């Protein structure tokens, strides 16, 4: 028994691989392109673990995916691979279309060919789980109800539009070809091993470095925040018991404005690693010009996942943030290698012959 994980050196995928192998002896074949956000140092604890097989490659490389499927015969494919940063999608949308749309199409085709040739019992047990985002649903007004699985798709950025397209492809491959798919749409994740371009790790790093803490616009954009390890447990549950063809929203029940998030981070840092001058890190908050098309509010209604599959998050926002800040304070080597780019040298040294 084996699973194939795509994008397993990224933030969510890397946490999932670590979480999976901490609780199971079932091997993981990990396919990751190692773009700027893919970091094998996240998986350094698995360096000599025979249960983890890492392959550097692109989900859009259909022949590579087909070869991996034929060699390892996985019972499931979990697709985390994606370009995922809204700001980067605004400046360079082409890569998002190529990875999230064309890449997902090629992955689906390779998986479909593999699945159709499986013996009957294995074909019935096989699963393709596609990990997506709440951003495909668009933006909510303050008084609007939270997104449910049947909410209309109204993506507003190149990133969310590309993820919406990938969701539609997955749905179509189920309804047209019968491919046994599951889809999850999650809210904003945070936690260990987060690449420091997203809000929470950026604020932590800038605060400790004495730099400004940038907040877009008025800081009142609202997001639902989900601790990444809770997300991992939700994916495991959907993979184990989800109904074929269904979508499950995964949220943390933690709606917060960006300004609230930053103030919580500052207060946590004040307690765990106070500034030498005794001032609060909140004095470093700086408001900057808002980004184009910035969605005002996302909110996830995760009741379907709880009522049908018995899942709910274990971390509150305060407990998750405290664990996250403590992790960054305790793992400065990982942070500095990511920021400096030294981890790329490590990847070349450790995996150059196998890449």
- List 58, 134, 230, 255, catalytic entry: 134
Encode pLDDT of 102-141 as tens digits.
999 999 999 999 999 999 999 999 999 999 999 999 999 9
134 among known catalytic residues: yes
**216 and 258 in contact (C-beta within 8 Å)?**
yes
Residue pair 203/268 in contact by the 8 Å Cβ criterion? no
Q: How far apart are CA 307 and CA 246, in angstroms?
A: 14
Domains of the chain: 3-351 (3.40.50.720)
- Global pTM? 0.93
Q: What is the pLDDT of residue 33?
A: 96
Torsion of CA 309, 320, 327, 296, to 10 degrees: 100
- Mean pLDDT, rounded, of the chain: 94
pLDDT per residue as tens digits for the range 296-347: 999 999 999 999 999 999 999 999 999 999 999 999 988 888 877 654 564 4
Residue 50 structure tokens: 């025979």
- For residue 25, CA distances in Å to 1, 77, 141, 152, 236 come to 9, 17, 45, 40, 14
Whether the CB-CB separation of 225 and 261 falls below 8 Å is answered with yes
Condensed to tens digits (0 to 9), the pLDDT of residues 1-54 reads 999 999 999 999 999 999 999 999 999 999 999 987 788 999 999 999 999 999
pLDDT tens profile 75-109: 999 999 998 778 888 889 999 999 999 999 999 99
Confidence of residue 352 (pLDDT cuts 50, 70, 90): very low
- Give the pLDDT confidence score for residue 337 in this predicted structure: 82
Answer yes or no: 159 catalytic.
yes
Which among 32, 41, 83, 135 is annotated as catalytic?
135
């Amino acid at each position: 028994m084996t699973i194939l994980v795509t994008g397993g050196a990224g933030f969510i995928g890397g946490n999932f691989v670590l979480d999976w192998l901490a609780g199971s002896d079932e091997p993981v074949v990990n396919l990751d392109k190692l773009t700027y956000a893919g970091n094998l140092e996240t998986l350094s604890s698995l360096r000599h673990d025979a249960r983890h097989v890492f392959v550097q490659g692109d989900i859009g490389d259909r022949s590579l995916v087909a070869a991996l499927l034929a060699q390892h015969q996985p019972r499931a494919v979990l697709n985390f691979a994606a370009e995922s940063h809204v700001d980067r999608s605004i400046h360079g949308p082409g890569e998002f279309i190529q990875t999230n749309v064309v890449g997902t199409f090629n992955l689906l085709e390779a998986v479909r060919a593999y699945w159709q040739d499986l013996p009957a019992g294995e074909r019935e047990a096989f699963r393709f789980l596609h990990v997506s985002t709440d951003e495909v649903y668009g933006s909510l007004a303050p008084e609007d109800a939270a997104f449910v699985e049947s909410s209309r798709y109204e993506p507003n950025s190149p990133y969310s539009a590309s993820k919406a397209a990938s969701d539609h492809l997955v749905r179509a491959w189920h309804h047209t070809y019968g491919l046994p798919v599951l889809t999850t749409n999650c809210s904003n994740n945070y936690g260990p091993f987060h690449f420091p371009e997203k809000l929470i790790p950026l604020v932590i790093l800038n605060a400790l470095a004495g730099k400004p803490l940038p907040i877009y616009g008025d800081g009142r954009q609202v997001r639902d925040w989900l601790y990444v390890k809770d997300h991992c447990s939700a994916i495991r549950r959907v993979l184990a018991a989800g109904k074929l063809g269904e979508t499950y929203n995964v949220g943390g029940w933690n709606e917060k404005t960006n300004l609230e998030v930053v103030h919580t981070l500052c207060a946590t840092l004040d307690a765990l690693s106070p500034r030498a001058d005794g001032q609060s890190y909140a004095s470093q908050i700086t408001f900057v010009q808002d980004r184009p098309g910035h969605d005002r509010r996302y909110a996830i209604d995760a009741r379907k996942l709880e009522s049908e599959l018995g899942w709910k998050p274990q971390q509150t926002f305060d407990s998750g943030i405290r664990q996250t800040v403590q992790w960054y304070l305790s793992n400065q080597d990982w942070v500095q290698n990511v920021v400096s780019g030294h981890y790329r040298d490590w990847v070349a040294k450790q995996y150059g012959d196998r890449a």
